[in-house]
């Protein structure tokens, strides 16, 4: 059973493909098929699974996504808001 990818010839949306080196849902061959179909390279995060955002390296993954968005001018630089504190 392989990954059934849609035809992507007309897709013009910027795409960032991330994968975990220990992903137990998508095989490396499926990530490579995504690369070819979407014409973008994927990036692996070492020692992460399919749920990489919920793992100990989640902050690094989030920072990579943010840098990608800012680099393509899809988002302005982000500064986290401080939580409002009562008292």
- Those residues whose C-beta lies under 8 Å from the C-beta of residue 25, and which sit 6 or more positions away, are 50
Tell whether 87 is covered by a domain.
no
Q: Is 47 left (phi over 0), alpha (psi -120 to 50) or beta?
A: left
What is the band of 23 on the pLDDT scale with cuts at 50, 70, 90?
A: very high
The pTM is what?
A: 0.73
Tell whether 32 is covered by a domain.
yes
Q: Cα–Cα distance between 82 and 69 in angstroms, integer?
A: 22
Higher pLDDT, 23 or 32: 23
Q: Cα–Cα distance between 49 and 51 in angstroms, integer?
A: 5
Number of structural domains found in the chain:
1
8 A C-beta contact, residue 31 and residue 42: yes
Tell whether 7 is covered by a domain.
no
Tell whether 29 is covered by a domain.
yes
Q: In terms of residue numbers, what domain contains 61?
A: 17-71
Q: If you average pLDDT over each of 3-7, 15-19, 49-53, which comes out highest?
A: 49-53
Tell whether 50 is covered by a domain.
yes
Mean pLDDT taken over the chain: 81
Tell whether 79 is covered by a domain.
no
């Amino acid at each position: 059973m392989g990954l059934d990818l849609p035809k992507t010839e007309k897709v013009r949306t910027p795409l960032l493909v991330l994968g975990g080196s220990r992903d137990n849902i998508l095989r490396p061959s499926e990530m490579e098929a995504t690369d070819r179909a979407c014409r973008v390279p994927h990036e692996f995060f070492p020692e992460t699974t399919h749920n990489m955002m919920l793992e100990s390296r989640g902050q690094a993954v989030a920072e990579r996504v943010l840098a990608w968005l800012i680099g393509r001018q899809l988002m302005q630089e982000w500064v986290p808001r401080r939580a409002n504190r009562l008292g």
